[in-house]
Every structure is written in structure tokens, then in C-alpha cells.
Structure 1
Amino acid sequence: MSAFFAALRISRRGIGQARARSALIIVMIGLPVLLLTASATWQATGDVTLKEGLNWNIGAADAHVREAASTKPVKQSVDGAHSVAAKGRTAKYRNLTEQEILTLFGPGSRAVPTRVSLTGYRTAGVYREADVREIDLHDPITTGMYRLLSGRLPRTAGEVVASPGLKLPEGSTLTVNGRGAAVAVVGVVEPRRAPEELEIVAPPGAVFDGSSRVSTAWLIDTPAPVSWQRVREMNRQGVTVLSRGVIDAPPPSGNGPEDPLPHATGGTSRIVMAALAAVVVVLEVVFLAGPAFAVGIRRRRRELALIAAQGGSPRHLRGVVLADGLTLGLAASLIGVAGGIGVGAAVTPFVHRGPFEVPVGWVALAVLLGVASALLAAVVPAVQASRAVVPAAQASRADVAEVLAGRRGTVRERRGLPVLGLVLLLGAVAVVVAGTALSRHPSMRFLGLYEVGLLASAVLGQLGLVLLTPWLIGAAARLAARLPLPFRMAARDAARNRGRTAPAVAAVLAATAVFATVAVMSSSQNARVREQYMPSYVMGSTAVTSYEPDPALWNEIKRTTASTLPGVPLIEAGQLAGPDSRTVNVVVQRDCVGHCPLSFMRRWDVRVGGTDLLRYFLRGPDPAAEAALAAGKAVVFDPQALRDGMLVFTAELHKRTSHSVPAVVRRPPDGPLVTAVLPVSLAAKLGLTVRYDTLIADPAVLRTTPEQEERLRAAVRFAGSSASAEVERGFPSNLGVRLLTFVLGAAVLVLGGTFAATGLAAAEGRPDRATLAAVGAPGRVQRLLVAGQAAFISLLGVAGGILVGLILGVAGVIGDHARNRIPPMKPVIGMPPPMPVVLDVPWLMFGSVLVGLPLLAALVAGALTRTRAALTRRLT
């Protein structure tokens, strides 16, 4: 024990003597701890329990009941959020009246309704949507549900209050859909359950009438708390209840409906991914802090050699270095935890409304993670120290006198490590493939084998990179023999000090490999979705669509669209419908068995319209096709949909019926957007009607600007809340934004690792730079030397990371395709074809990262280099 305390004292003195290096290590270790602590504090504060937020959801009420009740008994969860019908019973739903609710809760009870609906409103010529809620905010039962920020609460039917996100100032007026008269905004309130929600609050009966589609709930005030037994009694009558008394004193677990199996597997996936993140963080810290410990050992070689000369054993020397790791790790973790809690306390009040909470368990885990990272980072330098300053009889690599003289000595390479590293990398790929193959089996699909495989693959890959990196450094240094002197010296210095260079290169390589893997998989997924994308209209077309089967509403939408786009000819398209204007489900029988072309999976199979619609799809006039349409024939754009000159399809409304109509085939120049166009006269012959639901503006006539599109969308949405307007612009992709985010994250890690290693190399390489200054080398040469060190580390790490990430990304794309593809038991008519493996590599981005990051690292390192080097006295 005395040796342990002596090691701690020596460590504390060494840390005080090398404050800059110690501060660097503390930052490397403490920053991840700070981020983890702040994230855990953020999550704990934002994760408001049902009991903590009960007043926000039901105010001062004793119970909360939804209007809809099952006609059969139900079994509900404790919080009333989930309910299922009793086994073997088919349940329907009915709406409870206020009298029925009061009867359920007994004499002395009081029920206050709250009604809500997603509704459009217009103010100052702008159309928007928000939840409109009718509730009496003056009733004491609503206390705690809303917080008045400014103004006052509404008193009459012509007054409302709005949430802050709507940005409706006091005194403004708005018109809500379904209400003719405008209402005035008299205040701003914050919904406590969700402050970011867009909500308008009105007094009861102020907005909705009997025809409005609203969701109603009841706040119940009871003389006594509603027990779990009473809740169960109401469950037998099909009623689901949220009770304050049950939340305050919950029943034993297992009383509610069971969770389905996929819900449990989601938890497994989250745990595995959290473990994966922790492993990656620990290894990155070890890679970055390890070289700093190694440099510290070299700076303290004389002190360690004196300990060995006085009889210190290798165990004592290892204890001194590990004491550095323990002391710095504990200090960094405590500083990181304090900083994380401070950041959480400063930020969370502006975002979360829950009580500030520090998760003690997660904070303790973050401290252990920081200390463990520091100890792991100090392990290799500790072993090197015990072998570098002990006499040859104790398996040393250098003599104590050599160390006391200040010479570095030579370091031999273990030839088997690169082979072992390559084996581990191949094992990482094999683990991913094996986990993917096993997860496809039905009995193992929900066991999280794919996620476990990812975790194991990450660990094996990281270890393989660590073992392989020294060999890569040596090979790269040999290739640099013909470079100019500063860069040749930088490569030689990196090869001679692989204990310092290899971890930094491995950290850069690992960060780049993660970026490259994610980039390949994301780009390939985006390419697969892009290949599957089928436009609904001709590129550049403007379309207005309504989903309500109401002819009067459609006429209003047509009038609104025509007035918003004056002078623009509009093409009207419809669908087959029943007598009540409800759309018929039409399925075309294609002349293919098994896998059919993917183009058959369109938004619409057939459309009903006139000559203008036919010309729109054919991109010009076609007299023969127009004559066939006028004669009552269908014009088919997909030849596989034609059988012996007839278009065969099934129409399903109340029952399924099969129809065959004469047809002609035409091929649109840009491929079919729909299968066929049917004449309007055909609907009556089939005993059906036509429900028009789409207006199209041809791009040859109108190219809608974003401002026009916004104005049109607002106008049609105000005419009918189910209406929408869109412009066909092709496949929407945000891949560039996502990849840019990945690049920025990788750049932070790459530059951080590069600058840390370069700073350590520059500090340790002062004698070499002093020699250059002594022989008359200008400051430019010293800057190029440091820039070359940064470029060597970052270029080698980035190039290796892209190569490894490319391999893992390709394996991930193939594995994900095999995992998600479930082969059918037998061919089915009209079944979509199997998707091939779509591989898309962002070569341009990889090239930019490969050139840009090393160049940026070299420029910054060279610019920040101090060229005044003090001459040192050498013993030899």
C-alpha cells in the first residue's frame, strides 16, 4: 500500500511539472464525460414521468375519460394510454354522453368536456393549421394545464388565446375553418404538456358545431379518488380511465395489457447501440490520450530511470504511470461531470419544463467510463516504461545509462501483430455477415443478433486497426524516401515514434472508417429509394388534390384554384366511384405471373378524364387515341395490362367485380405515369360514377414558383382542409445535408486527433528543430516539418479509414439487403420484382475528404508552429 501512495505522490508531482500536457489529457478525457453527463441530464430532465406531468395533462381533475368507449370489456394499462378488447371478442366503439359518464363515477361527480380538432385558420391573408381546442380555462379543474404568458383568458365566443409558436399577437383576428365570423386573439398561453405545440384555445361552443369532426375527452371531478378496482369495473363496461389515484398508488405490475414482442426488441437494439457508442467513445479516448501518456513517459525517462537505478521493479514503474492515469482520469471525470451538470442546468430550463434532474446512476457510469478510459490509455505506456528503463537482465530494450544520457534507443517491431490485425479486420466483416444471416431466420429475427453483430464488429475492427496501424506507418514512411527534406523528416519521426503516432493514426482511421461506412450505406439507401420513386405527374406539373368525396366541396376547390391561377387552363382528372362518391379500389390484371415491373406500383392505376387529360399524359395530341377515347375505349399506356385487346380490372367497393373494356395501346415518350385513361362515359356503363379529385396545370403552360405554390396551397387548404397542392419536382433527397453532417463530425475527430498527435510530436521533436536551426534552416523548413507531421498522420488515417469504411459499407449494404428481403412462398400475380443490391459510393465526397482534411490539418499546424527553437546541450 505504501508503494501505491508513493506512486500517487510521484504522479501528482509530475502532473504539476507538466501542466500543459496534463491539461491536454484532462481535456481529452473530460470532454466525452462532459458530453455524456450533459446528455444524460438533458434526457432525465426532459423525460417527465406521468406523475410529474399529471397536472399538465388533466389539470386538477381526479380522472380523465375519452369520449369513445368499447362495446365490449377492455383491459387497459395503468396510465390509460393503451387498451385492448377482451380475448375472443370483437369490439366496436360508441360515444359516451355526459350523463353516462356521471352515472359511471357516481353521485357528486362533475364532468367538464374538452374538444380538439386539427383545423385550418386564416389570418392576414395567410393560411395555416393548428389544433383548435375548446375548453373552459376559467374552470378550476383546468388549473395547471395552461400558463398565461400575456394578455388575458377568453371570456366570450368571439375570443381565443393562442400558443407562442403560432406568433399571433394580442389584438389580431383570425377565421377558423367552419366558422364564418372572425375571432379575436386576447392572450398567449403555453400548453404545459407540450410547450412547442401549435394550439388555439377557445371557450366551449365557440368554434365547433354539431357537424364538426372533433375528439372529445372529459375531465372528471369526483368526491373520492378513483381506485384501480373502480377502474377495472369501468373497463368491464368498455371505458378507459386515467385516474390520479391510480397514478399516485399504482397497482402491481402485470395488470395491464402485455407489450408486443417487437416493442421489447426495440429496447434491445437501443441498449446494443448505446453500448456500441460507449465502446467507440472509450477507444477514441484511449487512442487520443495514449500518445500523451507515452510522451509524458519519455519526458520523465530520467526520473523513472533513477527509480529503477535505486532498485525499483517494473511493477513500481508501471504503478507510477498507472497512477498518472488514475489521477488524471479521476480529475478529468470530476471536472467533466461538474461541467456537464452545469451545462444541463443552464440549457434545460429553456427547453424542458420538467423538474431539473441529475441521473446519479448515469453520472457515476460516466465517471467510471472516464477513469477506465484513462487507465486503458496509460496501460501501454506503463508497460513500455517498465521495459525501457530497467536493466537488460529484466528484459529491457534499453540500458538505464542510455536513458540517463538522454538517448532514445531503438524500438523493434513485432512481426506477428500486423497479421493478427488483418485477421481481426476480416473477423469484423465475418461477424457482420454472420449476424445478418442469422437475423433472417424467423425464430431469431427479434433477438437483436444484427445489432450484437454490429457491436462485436466494431470492437474487433478497432482492435484490428490498432494492431495494423504500426505496419502501415512503417510502410508509408518507406514510401516517403523521395520527398523533400521536411516531409522526409516528418515521415521518419512518425516511424521512429510509432508508440505516439500509431494511436493517433488509428483514431483518425477509425473516425474516418465510421464516416465512410455510414456514407456508403446512406448513399446506397438513397439511390435505392430514388430508383423506386415513381412520379405522379409530368415533371414540373402543378396539381391540386382533394380527398373528401363531396361534390360541393370539389366545386369550391375548383373555383378557388381558378381564381388563384387566373388564365391557366386546368386539366380535371377523376377516379371511378360508387353512388355515394366513395372511390372504388381498382386493380388492373396484368399479363405477368410472379415478378412484374416495379412501375405497376403507382399512386393511381387508372384515371378517368377527357381529351385534355389524354394529351397531358401523351405530351401532345394523338388523333387515333383521342378518337378511341371518344368511342368509349380505354387508352392503355402499359402493354402488359392488355389482354387480347381488352383492359381487365377488378373494382372493389362493397364487393369485388371484374370488368373488361376495349382498349388501345399508346406509349408516352417519358414512360407511363398511370396504367390507363378511361373515358367518362365508361363509368355509367359499369354502373359506377366519377369522382373528380385532381386539377393539373401542365408545365408547358405554367411553371409554378415557390411563392405561387405556397399561395395556392394556402388557398385550397382554406377551401377544404383535406385539399392539398403540390409541384412535381422529382425525387426529394436530403442526402447532401446528411452527408455534410457526417463530414463535419468526422472532420472534428480527424483534426482533433491530428492536432493532438502533432502537438505531442512537436513538443518531443524540439531537439530536431533545434538542430535544424543550428545548421541555419529557416523558419519555413520548421513549419514544413510540423505541417508534414500533421499531413502524414491525417492522410494515412483518412486514406486507410476510407478504404476500411468502403469495405464495411459494401458489406453492410449487402447484409442489409439480405436481411430485409423475405422471399415469397410462391409466385403471385402482380408481385413486384426483387430489388437488386443498389450500391452507390459518394466518390466525389470521399475525394474531397481525402484531399481537404489532410491539407487543412497541414496548413493549420504549419501556421501555428513557433519557429524560435532554443538550442539544447547534448551529452553525446
Structure 2
Amino acid sequence: MIFELTGLAIIAVITGIPALLATASVPFAVLSAPQERHGRIRRRYVAGGFFVSFFGVWMMAFGAWAAREDTRYGIIDWATITLGTLAGGGLLVFGLGPFASWSLEILGRYAERLPLPVRLAARDLAGRRATTAPAITLTMMATAFGIALTIIAVGFTAQLRATYVPQARPGTLLVGHFPAEHAGTVRAAIQRELPGVPITQSEIPAEDRSFDAHAENVYLTEESMYSSEVIGDETLLRYLTGDRSTPYDEGTAVVITAADVKVDSVDLIGMGEPPKVKTIPAIVARTADPQMETIFVPTKVVRDLGYRLEPDELIVDPSLRRISAGEQERLDVRLDGVADTYIERGYESSTGWMVVAAAALLVALGCAWAAGGGPAASSRPGRVLRRAGGGSAATFRWFGASRTGLSALCGTVLGAVAGCPIGMLLMWPLTAATSWDSPPRVSFETPWPAIAAVVVALPVLAAALGWLFAREPADRAPDPEKAP
């Protein structure tokens, strides 16, 4: 219980500090936004924000450099590096707070040559930065989170796919983790649910005694899904090699390997003091898959050594019958928890992160709508649009689309500026080895097409929403400039 609470406390600190730093960008944006319609942002806010963001990037780069080695890191070292990198990401987002107001100022200043609805939309957003800048900052935060999560998830997927070790040949049904006394019940359940399906099995010594099989000049790869030996009958040998013509003799071992070696015998080394060694004849069977390498030992040989065997796994060879997911579900119901079933389908990546990323992008879209949605904030844009467009609904729709699209564009670009370095640099501490069996890293590929799609799609979707829900301002008072 104490260790669980300590772990939760560490997680809360590691995630809470950067979250607070990032959230502080909203009040920073409010503080830096000028209250006057035509006021300009004070340069010290932009310079200060740039310095804070630069320092945050430096912290993340230092954390990535510190975690670059493919060696084991202690949990304290790892937590320190990860916290520093995450804090750097929070500082990066915090420093970008004033840039929401600054981007609106630039839009309003350089919008002279844009079409009238776009020009008025840019000026309207820039004229009320005290309210639009915080909403755009929230858009930036949500976009940065979604992009960083996408980069990290893609990197983790590549890492897990490259180091995935299958448990069987593709399409194989494995039924295991059952007590030896229930082996007959499990086999009968499979036969009832899958009538006529050939079933083979691997076996293990029933007692605590065991042995190792060793062949000269034969070294199994670390990626092999089996231990040094597999015990079974002729049907298991056919499954292991994937070749129905592999010769079988109940007194001869078979070295299944992808290497070009010659083997005449296999030593069976029993555990004990002194260890007992029995040498049996052997042949070689080639396999194209290094992960299937093992030494097959016939059941009769092991029993002749005085071992009592019991079933380890029941196997359905995919070359004889492919089991569907529906059949596996029905078999699970029939077994009722007595045994576990597994079908080897290769590495299957998780898609749960996509839901979280999509939710973050929807939040970004909502914040952009909050910044640029609704009727015009002042009567002047409405009067100008009536004079220039004849008061048509299309003119006001273009104005609404421009306003929401521009607000989303500012937040999305700033979010990409923050999310890309956060995701790319945070990958290093998150994939650092903290246990002895952690695999080395693979190369991280940034999903630039997906990032570009987000940067383009969010403003377009926001503009579409602005077009659909555009409302003409209710204020129809005469223009004071035309008053007598």
C-alpha cells in the first residue's frame, strides 16, 4: 500500500508541475493583451515569453540528451529526467501565452490587402484581444497536447512493433495455463466447439526436475519464442517446422534452425548434482523464421529418462485450420476460465490514444469557436458589411467563417510550434530503460503528414462552423460617420 501511494505521488508530481506551468499561459495571455482596441502588446511580454519558451526547449533538449543512452536508468534518475523534460514542455507552452495576442496584432496590422470579410474579421479579433487571446491560448494548449500525444504514440508503436516477440506461428490457436488434471476437460471442450480440428500439444516434466537440450555450434536467437527444447510428438514437430514432410523418429531429436549447420547429436543435460547427460542422435530441419528456432525432443526419449510429462499447451496448427475471433470467443465461454486462449495475430497496436487526441483537438476547435464565434462584437463590422455586401447573408457568413478560421489558425500554429518539440524530445526519457530486460530503442519517425493535416484541418473545420452558425449583429443603428 505504501509503495502504491508513493508511486501515485510521484506520478502526480511528474504530471502536475508541467500541467500547472502550461495552464499559467492563460493568465499570461490575459496580462499581456492590451485593453484598448488599437493598443499594441508591450514588447517586454513578447521578449519575456520568448525567453521562457527558449529555456523550456533547452530543458527538454537536455532531458533528451541525458536519456539518450540505451542503458538501464535507475528509477530516481529516470523520474528526475522525465520531470525536467515535462517541466520544460510546460515552460514552452507558458512562454507562448503572449504570442496569441501578438499574432492577432500582426493579423490586424497586415490585413489591408485581404478581402473585406477577412480583413474585418482580423481587425475584430485584434480589437478585443482581452477576450480572444485567452481562448486562442487554450486552443494552442489543446492542439499542442494532441500533436505531442500523436508523436509519442507513433514512436511507442514503432518501438513495440520492432521488439514484439510472437508466441506462435501466425494464426495459431494456443490454449494453456490450465491444471494438468483438467487437460482432458480442456481438450474435450476444444473438440466440442471445433469438431474435427486436429489438436497437438507440447509437454513439460511434471516434477520440479528439468533438463536442457544442447547441440554443438547451435545457438538460439534471443527473439526465439521457445526455450532450448520443446517436447512433443510427430504432430508438434510438423507444426514447429511448418513442413509436413519433415522426417520424424521417436528416438531422434530435431534441431530446428535457420543457420547452415550440421548436427549429429544432442546432449540432454539433467539438473542435479552431478548433472546427468544423455546423448541422442539428431538431425537438422531448416526454418525460414528465426523466431521458430528450437530443439525438438520426442516424448518417448524424455519418458525413457524417467521423467513424467504433463501437457503444457494445446495447439491448433494454422496450416490445418484457421480459427476466427468468433470461434475463440465461443471457446472462451465453453472453457469458463479453466484455461486461457490466444490466437497469434502479430503485433496489434493500441488505438485508445486516438480517442484522447481527437478529444483534445475537439477542445481546441471549441476554444477557437469561443474566440471567433457569435455575432460581431461591435456594430462597426456589421455596418461596413451591410454597405459593402448589400446586407446579404453570404457576406455575414464569410465574415463569421473568417473570424473562426483565423482564431483557429493562430491557436493551431502556436500549438504545432509547442507540440512538435514536446513530443519529439519527450520520447527519449519515456523510452529510457528502467529494467534489465528493456529493449534498445528504434528510430523515432515524426508523423509529419498527420501534423500537417491537423494544422490545415482545424482552421478549415472552424471556418466551416463559422459559416454555418454565422449570425448577423442585431445592432442596426445608423453609422455615426453618416449622421448630419
With the shorter chain as reference, the TM-score category is 0.7 to 0.9
Counterparts in 2 of 1:258-337, with a 5 A limit?
A: 264=6, 266-281=8-23, 283-284=25-26, 286=27
Q: Distance in 2 between matches of 1:475 and 1:676?
A: 71
Contact 1:630 1:679 in 2 (8 A): yes
Contact 2:191 2:197 in 1 (8 A): yes
Q: Secondary structure at the match of 1:672?
A: helix
Is 1:666 the counterpart of 2:285? The answer is: yes
Q: Secondary structure at the match of 2:421?
A: helix
Q: Distance in 1 between matches of 2:275 and 2:414?
A: 61
Counterparts in 2 of 1:384-783, with a 5 A limit?
A: 384-385=34-35, 408=37, 410-412=38-40, 418=46, 420-434=48-62, 445=76, 448-450=79-81, 452-454=83-85, 456-473=87-104, 484-494=115-125, 500-550=131-181, 553-575=182-204, 577-578=205-206, 580=207, 584=210, 586=212, 598-600=222-224, 602=225, 604-622=227-245, 625-627=246-248, 629-630=249-250, 632-639=252-259, 652=271, 663-684=282-303, 686-717=305-336, 721=338, 723-734=339-350, 736-748=351-363, 750-759=364-373, 762-777=375-390, 778-783=392-397
Do the aligned partners of residues 420 and 645 (structure 1) sit closer, same or farther apart at CA in structure 2, a change above 3 Å counting? farther
Q: Distance in 1 between matches of 2:114 and 2:217?
A: 67
Contact 2:14 2:86 in 1 (8 A): yes
Q: Secondary structure at the match of 1:613?
A: helix
Structure 1: which 5+ residue stretches go unaligned? Answer: 1-81, 83-258, 291-376, 389-407, 825-831
**Counterpart residue number, 2:401:** 787
Q: Distance in 2 between matches of 1:798 and 1:672?
A: 45
Q: Distance in 2 between matches of 1:801 and 1:645?
A: 65
Do the aligned partners of residues 746 and 647 (structure 1) sit closer, same or farther apart at CA in structure 2, a change above 3 Å counting? farther
Q: Distance in 1 between matches of 2:211 and 2:449?
A: 46
**Counterpart residue number, 2:427:** 813
Counterparts in 2 of 1:357-376, with a 5 A limit?
A: none
Do the aligned partners of residues 643 and 517 (structure 1) sit closer, same or farther apart at CA in structure 2, a change above 3 Å counting? farther
Q: Distance in 2 between matches of 1:655 and 1:711?
A: 49
Contact 2:144 2:415 in 1 (8 A): yes
Contact 1:597 1:833 in 2 (8 A): no
Contact 1:645 1:664 in 2 (8 A): yes
**Counterpart residue number, 1:870:** 476
How much has 1:471 moved relative to structure 2? 4.9
Larger Rg: 1
How much has 1:687 moved relative to structure 2? 4.5
TM-score normalised by length of structure 2: 0.81
Q: Distance in 1 between matches of 2:131 and 2:267?
A: 74
Q: What one-letter code is carried by the residue in structure 2 that aligns with 1:608?
A: I
Q: What one-letter code is carried by the residue in structure 2 that aligns with 1:486?
A: P
Contact 2:269 2:276 in 1 (8 A): yes
Q: Secondary structure at the match of 1:726?
A: strand
Do the aligned partners of residues 590 and 428 (structure 1) sit closer, same or farther apart at CA in structure 2, a change above 3 Å counting? farther
1:41-77 superposed Cα distances (whole Å, 9 cap, x missing partner): xxxxxxxxxxxxxxxxxxxxxxxxxxxxxxxxxxxxx
Q: Secondary structure at the match of 2:382?
A: helix
Q: Distance in 2 between matches of 1:428 and 1:269?
A: 20
Contact 2:252 2:283 in 1 (8 A): no
Do the aligned partners of residues 280 and 418 (structure 1) sit closer, same or farther apart at CA in structure 2, a change above 3 Å counting? closer
1:532-560 superposed Cα distances (whole Å, 9 cap, x missing partner): 2222222222222244244xx32333233
**Counterpart residue number, 1:860:** 465
Q: Distance in 2 between matches of 1:836 and 1:671?
A: 21
Q: Distance in 2 between matches of 1:522 and 1:585?
A: 42
Q: Secondary structure at the match of 1:621?
A: coil
Q: Secondary structure at the match of 2:203?
A: strand
Q: Distance in 1 between matches of 2:112 and 2:270?
A: 77
Do the aligned partners of residues 466 and 573 (structure 1) sit closer, same or farther apart at CA in structure 2, a change above 3 Å counting? same
1:457-490 superposed Cα distances (whole Å, 9 cap, x missing partner): 2441123212444554566678877754423443
Q: What one-letter code is carried by the residue in structure 2 that aligns with 1:673?
A: M
Do the aligned partners of residues 838 and 547 (structure 1) sit closer, same or farther apart at CA in structure 2, a change above 3 Å counting? farther
Do the aligned partners of residues 616 and 644 (structure 1) sit closer, same or farther apart at CA in structure 2, a change above 3 Å counting? closer
How much has 1:512 moved relative to structure 2? 0.9
1:157-180 superposed Cα distances (whole Å, 9 cap, x missing partner): xxxxxxxxxxxxxxxxxxxxxxxx
Do the aligned partners of residues 540 and 479 (structure 1) sit closer, same or farther apart at CA in structure 2, a change above 3 Å counting? farther
Counterparts in 2 of 1:45-124, with a 5 A limit?
A: none
How much has 1:767 moved relative to structure 2? 0.5
> Identity over aligned residues, as a percent?
22
TM-score normalised by length of structure 1: 0.48
Structure 2: which 5+ residue stretches go unaligned? Answer: none
Contact 1:635 1:663 in 2 (8 A): yes
